[in-house]
Amino acid sequence: MITIWRTILFLLVGVAIALPLNWRAMALDKPAGPVVLTITGAIGETNRPPFDDFEDGFFKFHERRFDKAVAFDLAMLEALGLHEVSISYAEWPRPFRFEGPWLKDVLAAVGAKPTSVSILALDGFASELKAVDLDAYDWIVALKRDGRYLDIGQRGPLWIVYARRDGKAYTAEDEQRWPWASFLIEVK
């Protein structure tokens, strides 16, 4: 009888250990849909080939080359868990609700421990964030705004925003740190 319970306990512990490993492997499968985010730089994982001068024309246009990278489609990002952040900024017509995975979870999925990151938008705008900035706020890789996926032309495919933990009103400086139309994160 004790042997059966020991076996069951051993199996449960094995499953508990294996689940996070399987989740991580699933998150880094090759994308099935269109890629909306690529992460390069100081990462421990990869799921796509290095920069190719012909295939990666948009990265070439932005003068970004890399040896290893991880590509995410929407389903892969959603698999990391959707969280919500509500932002009420005086310059916007109304408050908005953003949904997406936490940036820290996206970075953990690629094996990154950044000292800083550079987030690049489609138009070439880049936002540089140091580790202290990443730790100071609840950053979210927003896929949706008010329940709808962000389209290109409507600040998509991704909008990197954060919730303030101190409860203070959002400022123009906050908004300047939120790169919309984001598609590339370089980990340093």
Q: What is the pLDDT of residues 92-109, one digit of tens each?
A: 999 999 999 999 999 999
Query: How many domains, in total, are found in the chain?
Result: 1
The domain in which residue 113 lies consists of: 31-187
In a domain, 19, yes or no: no
Separation between Cα atoms, residue 184 and residue 40, nearest integer Å: 8
What is the sign of the dihedral through the CA atoms of 130, 144, 102 and 157?
Answer: negative
Query: pTM score, two decimals?
Result: 0.84
Q: Phi/psi zone of residue 97: left (φ > 0), alpha (ψ -120 to 50 degrees), beta? A: beta
Q: What is the pLDDT of residue 18?
A: 44
CATH of the domain at 175: 3.90.420.10
In a domain, 21, yes or no: no
Read off the pLDDT of residues 116-158 as tens digits, 9 standing for 90 and up: 999 999 999 999 999 999 999 999 999 999 999 999 988 999 9
In a domain, 45, yes or no: yes
User: Phi/psi of residue 142, each to 5°?
Assistant: -75, 125
In a domain, 7, yes or no: no
In a domain, 72, yes or no: yes
